[in-house]
Each structure stands twice: as C-alpha cells, then as structure tokens.
Chains A and B, each alone.
Chain A
Amino acid sequence: MAWIHGWLGLLAGWILFAMFLTGTASYFRPEITQWMQPEQPANRVSAAAAAQAAVRYLSRVGVGDEQWYIYLPDDRSAVTRVFAIPGAKAMPAKRPRAPELELDPRGGEPIHARETRGGEHFYRFHFQLQLPHPWGRWLAGLCAMFMLGAIVSGVVTHKRIFADFFTLRWNKGQRSWLDAHNVSAVLALPYHAVITYTGLMTLVLMYMPWPIGANYKQPADFGKEAYGYVFDDKASGRAMPLVAVAPLITDAERRLGQHAQRVVIRFPGDAAATVAVASGGASSLNARGGTVTYSGVTGRVTAADTGAGPALSTAGVMLGLHTAQFAAPALRWLLFALGLTGAAMVGTGLLLWTSARRRPNAAPFFGLRLVERLNIAAIAALPIGMASYLLANRLIPAAAAGRADAEVATMFYTWGGAALLQLARPAKRAWCELFGLGALLFGAIPFVNAVTTDRGFFTSLRAGDGLFVGFDVAMLAIAALLAAAAWSAGRERQGKTRRKVRELAHV
C-alpha cells in the first residue's frame, strides 16, 4: 500500500498541483472577473429589476429565440450575464453556443468592458485543463481518482497519523520534506478528502452515468425528475406577449425563501412560453436550490420544485461544498488557505519523491532528473503563468481585438517558456530563479494596475473599494510567499539521506 501511494501521487501529481492552484484561485472567480474588468459598473439593483431590464433588452434583439438564460447579479457580481439559444429557424445544423453577454443591471444594455475570460479561465482550466472536450474532463477525473486513491492509501500506510500531526522538523533536509508533506496532508486531511470527492461529484453525470441506465428507459427522464430539466416541449407557434418578469422573481424568492440566481425563459413571445426562476448555492449549503416555473403568458405557477429527497440533497450539498458559493468572505479566505495547503501537500509530495531517491556522491539517474525538471515546470513555473495572465489583462490595450484569447495565450506561453528555459540552468538555481521571477511578477501587479487604471491602491482605499484593495494586498502576499520560497530554495542545505527517512518515504 505504501509504494502505490508514491506512484499514484507521482503520476498525477503535476496535473493535480495545477488543478489545486487554479481551483483555489477559483474561489474568487467573480472577484477576479471584476478586477479584470475595471470598467464594470459598481451599481446595485434588485434581482427583479435586473431580470426585467435583461428581458427588455433580449426582447428587442432576440425575437424568435428558443431559450434565454439570465444569471442575475448578486453581492459578488455586479453585472447580469445572459445567453440565448436561437430558435429552430435561425439555427444552423450544429448549434453553436451563443456568446455570453454582460448587461448593465439597471438599463439592460450590454456593458462596454474589456473583453476577457476573467476568473472563468482559471475555473475552466482546473477541470478542463485547456484540452478539447471531453478529454480534459476525463483526464482531470482520472487525476482526481488517483488523488482519492492516494488519500486512502496515504491514511492506511500512515500508522503514526496522530503523532505526525505535531511533528515538523525544519532544516533537516529530506526529513523536513517528509514532515512538511505529512503536516500539510494531515492537518487539512478532511478538506483534501472532501474537496477531492466533491470534485468528482461535480461531473458524476459524465463519469458514472450507469445507474441512470439501470433505472431509466429514457435517460433524459432522470434530469426531468431529479432537476426539473424540460427540453422536449414544443412552441405553439402563436405569438403572445411575455408576462412582466419582475413580479415573478419577487414571488419565487418568497416561495423558495432564497435569493433568485438564474432565470430560464423558454419560447419567449410564444403562447407556450415558460419562465423558470431558480435559486442556487449562494444562500444555502445545497447548491441545488429550488426552481419555480411560471407560465410566460399568465404568470401562473405551473411547477414548483422546492426540495428533493436525501440522496439528491446530499449530491447538492456535495456540489455546494466544492464550489463554496455559500461561503462568506472570512470562510472563503479560510478555504483559499486550505486550497493552498492542498497544493503544498501535492508539491511537497513531489519534492519528497526526488529528495528521498537522491544518493550523495552519485550522479542522479535519468528518472530522477526528469521528475525534478517536471517538478520545477509544474510548481515553480505555473505561478509565473498565472501572474502573466493577470498582467496581460492590464497591458494588452482594452480595445484590442481578440484580447481575451491573447490573455489566455500569454499564460500558457510564459508557463511553457519558463518550463523550457529552466532546462538551461542547474536545478537548484532554476528553483530559486523561477520562484523569484514569480515573486517579481506578482509584486508588479499592483503597480501595473495603478499605472494602467484609475483604480490604484490608494484611490481604491479612499473610495472604500474593498475588492481592489484586497486584490492588491493578496497579490503582494503571494509575491512574499514566492519570495520566501525562492530564498529557501537558494540556501545551502545539508544533503544527508538517512536510511530511516527512505523507509518512511516508501522508497
């Protein structure tokens, strides 16, 4: 059981590290998006008014559409996001996903903010890995499964789990890496186990759909029964004006006892139109929320799904625990810190693999050198890419065409470039220099922001703009963390490998 822990961790470790780091950043997905669109309006209106304004706009531009999705603004996102599925007549053979639009919640007009993927990019990357669908999701699922196996086998092999909880011996070479791996793993073990399992659950319909087939002749019926998805109804073809949406939102919020997060309007302007108002995970641990469906003509309730059985509620809570939309700012920061311990656990485990196999006075064998270089590419070079993504957002002109893709490309080219350039340096120097470069880039973000926007640190502080102030402080904190890593990687360390450590590290 011990060696399988090592191999599971090694094979999935590099991808898991990237998934942990970008996933941890995704706790602040809406905030990152807001920061990356400094032009976003800072106004707040009620969900009902925002929905009505969005419908006003969509009714003008989207006549004959089959379906409108409206994501309402809340405390963390100041814009209404909408996207429309065009009607059958306008639809080409293969339906492309219409581009998502951002609307001003007050007037309902599209806002003119710089084009960017924002926090959505980190979020998507952490389970799609920038690979074509569905391979990225399968690879992420495989790595998550390896992680689950590594957690279970790690606990099984770990006889001294309680004693190791209190053990951290600094500056003892390999011994310290083992302790650091144990402390970061054991301290946050409940978090690691939960985040891994709930992460697998977010895509369970793709990874493990077989129980549906065992119970349903028509698999679509499961979605209908469990989540109230309806996609097989038909438009009547008779035109009827859409009912006023704002009162429906208010009514649905009263029935659900939660804030409305999403409005789905099917066949707008048709006699068979429906308006489904859903709550989500923002105000409850259960990400599933409830849905109230209204007739789009009369405004009467046609279906209400306000609760589910124990299993579906459990699944909903698992989803909620993973996305953590329920978390208030303090808890969100705690989860962010725990996510970093996850990255630290994976990272120290990878370092342990190399340091436990290095023999003094012997040339490292090929596998050791390969793993070490891949460690540097994954652990030290990824922060450089992430910082470059944020810097590119400020440095690429706001009106440039195709700038959103250019930002994403910047992240991968700098990450890949750093991963290649380090090969020209001795491993020890490469660790130190890449961490140092990462620290410089993160440290530069607040200054570049102050120069390129009118929302610099002191301006934001005077304006009481918590998000922009917090962002700058967080960037400097990350820069300090990376600088500390660079400093510690650059120090001379005694390289004694004791027999006992090798045994404990499962070599």
Chain B
Amino acid sequence: MLMQRGQMPRRRVLIRPAALAMLARCTTALLGGYAATAALVSLVSRLLPLSRAEATAWGMITSFLVYAVIGLWCFHEPKLVRVVALVWSVAALAGGAVWLIGARA
C-alpha cells in the first residue's frame, strides 16, 4: 500500500497527513512500545513474589517478547488513535505505579 506511487497529484505540502500519521505510528511503536515494555516488565518484576534478583531477571528475560508484541500490534491495529492512546497510557500508568510502589526494601 505504500508502493502506490504516481497516482497522487503532487501538492505543495511540507508533510502529507498520511506521512504524519505513519510517523506517529512508528514513533509510538518504537519509543512508546519501549516505554510501555519497560514500565510493564518493571511493574511485574516488582510485584512477583520471588527473591528480588530472580524477579528482576524474569522481567528482563520476557521484556523483548513484550516489546515485539506491542510494536507489531501498533501496525496491526488500523485505528491510530487507539494505538497512540493505549500504548502511551500503558506506559504512563505502569510507570507511575512502579514509581509509587518504590523499590523493594
């Protein structure tokens, strides 16, 4: 769908809305996905009822899978608003929770 070139009339616009939407989607997937992943795995590893070294390691081990799934979902979901809202709010909420709970004693 990105390859349909030639048909569109060339207008003097700095950035086309479609490109802007794609930029927002990519940013959300790459940065928002990373932030949401970091916050989620931190929260889970903080709450896991294991020794803190073990819980930390489980969080780190699962992180890349979580990141991959979130990142791909950002391109799978057609509604950009839903993508941006969900990913960034997960990052903010989980991150906020981690910050509120604080490190283990």
Contact = CB atoms under 8 A, between A and B. Distances in A.
Contact of B54 (A152, A197, A311): A311
B93 interface: no
B42 A211 contact: yes
A204 B56 contact: no
Contacts of A298: none
A357 B5 CA distance: 12
B3 A1 contact: no
A291 to B, nearest CB: 15
A288 to B, nearest CB: 11
A145 B65 CA distance: 9
Contact of A309 (B42, B54, B68, B101): B54
Given A3-B1, A309-B51, A211 B69 contact: no
Interface in B44-72: 45-46, 50-61, 63-65, 67-69, 71-72
A19 B95 CA distance: 33
Contacts of B64: 145, 148, 197, 200-201, 204, 207-208
Contacts of A213: 42, 103
Given A148-B68, A208-B60, 13 more contacts: A4-B75, A149-B72, A153-B72, A204-B61, A207-B64, A210-B39, A212-B60, A214-B45, A215-B52, A215-B55, A215-B104, A217-B103, A314-B57
B53 A226 contact: yes
A208 B54 contact: no
Contacts of A197: 64-65
B98 interface: yes
Top 3 nearest A-B pairs (CB, nearest first) are A211-B59, A311-B57, A214-B42
A368 to B, nearest CB: 10
B45 A215 contact: yes
B72 A225 contact: no
Given A314-B57, A314-B61, A1 B50 contact: no
B76 interface: yes
B68 A215 contact: no
B38 interface: yes
Given A214-B43, A309-B50, A222 B38 contact: no
A312 interface: yes
12 contacts: A1-B72, A145-B68, A149-B71, A208-B60, A214-B46, A214-B98, A216-B104, A222-B53, A225-B52, A226-B57, A311-B54, A318-B61
A329 interface: no
B72 A211 contact: no
A400 to B, nearest CB: 44
Contacts of A311: 50, 53-58, 61
Contacts of A212: 56, 60
Contacts of A201: 60-61, 64
A180 to B, nearest CB: 22
Nearest to A227: B53
Interface string A1-32: 10110010000000000000000000000000
A449 to B, nearest CB: 41
Describe A's contact surface by its main secondary structure: helix
Interface residues of A, number: 39
A211 B45 contact: yes
A421 interface: no
Given A211-B56, A309-B53, A311-B61, A507 B3 contact: yes
Interface in A299-314: 309-312, 314
A162 interface: no
A231 interface: no
A485 interface: no
B76 A1 contact: yes
Given A213-B42, A222-B53, A309-B50, A204 B72 contact: no
A483 B65 CA distance: 39
A225 B42 CA distance: 18
A225 B104 CA distance: 14
Question: Which of B57, B65, B104 gathers most chain A CB within 10 Å?
Answer: B57
B42 A210 contact: yes
B80 to A, nearest CB: 15
B73 to A, nearest CB: 10
B83 interface: no
B44 to A, nearest CB: 8
Contact of A208 (B38, B52, B98): B38
Contacts of A209: 60
A276 B82 CA distance: 53
A305 to B, nearest CB: 11
Contacts of B50: 309, 311
Nearest to A197: B64
B41 interface: yes
B26 to A, nearest CB: 10
A111 B39 CA distance: 50
Contacts of A225: 52-53
B52 A216 contact: yes
A3 B38 CA distance: 27
Contacts of B60: 201, 204-205, 208-209, 211-212, 315
Question: Which of A205, A214, A507 gathers most chain B CB within 10 Å?
Answer: A214
Contacts of B37: 208
Nearest to B43: A214
Contacts of A205: 60
